[in-house]
Structure 1
Amino acid sequence: MLELLDMLIHIDKTLGVWIAEYGTWVYVVLFLIIFGETGLVVLPFLPGDSLLFIAGAFSASGHMHPGVLIVLLIAAAILGNTLNYVIGRSIGVRVYSMNLRFLDRNALARTHAFYEKHGGKTVILARFIPLVRTFAPFVAGVAAMPFARFQMFNIVGAVTWVMSLVLGGYFFGNLPFVREHLNTIVLLGIASAVLPLVVVGVWKGLRRFRRKDVVTL
């Protein structure tokens, strides 16, 4: 049982074994993993970016149909975020005063600060940032973001996230260099998504600092 759980958690590294063992049922497994990682704040440890990339690489090898894979994973990402939003909306601001052992309060606080700073586009950008990806829709629900507006960002984010990583894996995942340095490439991809936000945040902070200096003078 523990071995099966370990394989599930690290399916991005053992996907070939799952395909060999379960055939087309692997679509269901991948759907549930992406749905769980995006839909339940208690499952942020499930693989996301690397799994999409590796799945794309296996589809290029003929083990899975890329079209079916993309459609299913986009649906899983949209539905997962929607469930997470609904849970956050139903709990509301009470979550900050509730003593829930399974909830990573530090990750929740970081995501809330990120959401407050970057607004609705967080739902899109968070797709490419582990942990933030899991908590962003939950925080959007807690903050009572209008459902229609949330779904607009949710759909755009899901399509962008899934297609970019699955197609990236499809076209480049089987190159020896990429396979050997996959973790580094994924980290660089995450950094490229976060870096513009950091630059904008620093720039805004400097502008506020300069305004305070002017007012002081």
Structure 2
Amino acid sequence: MLHAAALDSQMSDLLSHVGVVIFYLVVWGLVFAGTGLFVGAFIPFITGDSLLFAAGLITAANENLNIWILALGVGIAAFIGDQVGFILGRHLGRPYLDKKSGPRMKRIIARVEKFYYAYGWWAVVIARFIPWARVFVPWVAGIGNMNYFKFLTSNFVGAVAWGVGLTLVGYYAASIPGVKAAAYVIAGFFILASIIFSIRTWIVERRDRLQESAN
């Protein structure tokens, strides 16, 4: 009986640790995919600010999760994602964006280009906090042949400020009375709202592309 109880306890611990690892990997994967795999162009909200804030809240409510592992991992994933976007933009160029984008997306890309050429180095940092700009600025910087080391530094600053910063904001928001107790409800609300907005954005973009093809 004691052996069975010990085995059951070990299995519970293992499952608990596996759940923690999966949580980290899902959050990091979504952050990376947002810019690195262009996913943020279609589901910008679920790969952005809401995800980080919700992840921070959940971490504060779960003693098995470590905020510094989560936050540093988010920063690294954000940094690598933008580096991939920059490299792809440099090699694939503007024709690829035009081919993959509907009328609405093209208008957004045009605005992002103006934003990038107006602010340069700072555009990469500021874009982290703007859903659409966060996706396209690395590509536009690559297409515009921005100096690689300048992009490297601006990407690093942006990844730390946005990735690590917003995750910590969500975590410490749980210190507000009543927030920690309802952390999963609040996080669920943010994630659900993000999914709804993302689906709506995808439907609108798909409709615009179909209309453009029909014309």
Aligned to 1:37: 34
Aligned to 1:53: 53
Aligned to 2:110: 109
Matching residue within 19, 23, 28 for 1:26: 23
8 A Cα contact 1:31 1:73, kept in partner: yes
Distance 1:72 1:110, change over 3 A: same
1:130 aligns with 2:131: yes
Query: Secondary structure of 2:40's partner?
Result: coil
Q: Shift of the alpha carbon at 1:166?
A: 1.1
Gaps of 5+ in 1: 1-18, 184-217
Q: Distance in 1 between matches of 2:82 and 2:91?
A: 14
Q: Distance in 1 between matches of 2:18 and 2:66?
A: 17
- What TM-score do you get using the length of structure 2 for normalisation? 0.67
Q: Shift of the alpha carbon at 1:99?
A: 2.6
The Cα offsets for residues 59-106 of structure 1, whole Å up to 9 and x where unpaired, read as 22224211110111111000000000000000234446x432579322
Aligned to 2:173: 172
Q: CA RMSD in A?
A: 2.7
8 A Cα contact 1:121 1:153, kept in partner: yes
The Cα offsets for residues 35-56 of structure 1, whole Å up to 9 and x where unpaired, read as 0012133433133101111111
Q: Distance in 2 between matches of 1:86 and 1:152?
A: 15
The share of aligned pairs that are identical, in percent, is 32
Letter in 2 for 1:139: V
Aligned to 1:69: 70
Aligned residues: 164
Letter in 2 for 1:54: A
Q: Distance in 2 between matches of 1:173 and 1:163?
A: 16
Q: Distance in 2 between matches of 1:56 and 1:24?
A: 15
- What TM-score do you get using the length of structure 1 for normalisation? 0.67
Q: Distance in 2 between matches of 1:170 and 1:93?
A: 39
Q: Shift of the alpha carbon at 1:23?
A: 3.5
Aligned to 1:99: 99
Gaps of 5+ in 2: 1-15, 191-215
Q: Distance in 2 between matches of 1:92 and 1:70?
A: 32
- Residues 123-162 of structure 1: pairs in structure 2 closer than 5 A: 123-162=124-163
